[in-house]
Amino acid sequence: MRKSLPASFVLLLLLPSLAAAQSTAPTAPAAPAAPAAATAEDQAAVRQAALDYIEGYYGGDPVRMERGLHPELVKRGVTTSPRFGGAAYLPAMSKSNLVTIARAGTGKRPPEEWDVTVTVLDVAPATAAVKVVSVEFVDQMLLAKVDGKWSIIAVLWEPRPKPAAAP
């Protein structure tokens, strides 16, 4: 008949092997450090860039429009057009297009009609996201802090939905 070793004896024999294996096992990487909190100055500068954009449009102010935009800005819309049979399309605009539109006063309206709400969604050390809702549009913006200045680098817009008619 075969005798079995007590479990405690087997464990004592295995302990040195387990300890050696554990000391050479790779350790999990440390969790990345949380990004630095946005400063009040950064929050204000991000908000101001968004306001320069939308108020430059409605105020017909090309200087404000230009101040809020990065030279490489890309703006796209998600909209429909009878020109395309009512199908959705993605018109594109650049910084120079937007400055020209502001200069021409294409969107100019009295300030009481602008109905602008700016929501700063997130601000990291070098990037930010903002939502601007105005009388005509819903704009989703991405901003970058380049050379110490916050400016809009991308905008995706759609027409503001019309309120539902009361029954």
With residue 57 as reference, give the H or E element that holds it: helix 40-58
User: CA of 45: how far to CAs of 12, 38, 80, 123, in Å?
Assistant: 65, 11, 33, 10
Tokens of 12: 């004592």
The DSSP secondary-structure symbol of 83 reads G
Query: Average pLDDT over the chain, rounded to whole?
Result: 84
Tell me the domain boundaries of the chain: 40-159
Cβ atoms within 10 Å, residue 145:
18
pLDDT score of 104: 96
pLDDT score of 167: 73
Predicted confidence (pLDDT) per residue in 71-112, tens digit: 999 999 988 777 767 777 788 999 999 999 999 999 999 999
Q: Alpha-carbon distance 65 to 103, whole Å?
A: 9
Q: Alpha-carbon distance 11 to 90, whole Å?
A: 68
Average pLDDT for residues 125-137, to the nearest whole number? 96
pLDDT score of 18: 46
pLDDT score of 1: 52
Cβ atoms within 10 Å, residue 14:
11
C-alpha closest to that of 91 among 78, 104, 101, 100: 78
pLDDT score of 133: 97
pLDDT score of 33: 55
Strands 69-77 and 79-80: unpaired
pLDDT score of 164: 75
C-alpha closest to that of 68 among 111, 38, 98: 98
Q: Alpha-carbon distance 36 to 167, whole Å?
A: 50
- With vertex at residue 76, the alpha carbon angle to CA 72 and CA 81, rounded to the nearest 5 degrees, is 150
pLDDT score of 15: 46
Lowest mean pLDDT among 24-33, 52-61, 155-164: 24-33
pLDDT > 80? residue 140: yes
Secondary structure (3-state) at 151: strand
Architecture of domain 40-159: Roll (3.10)
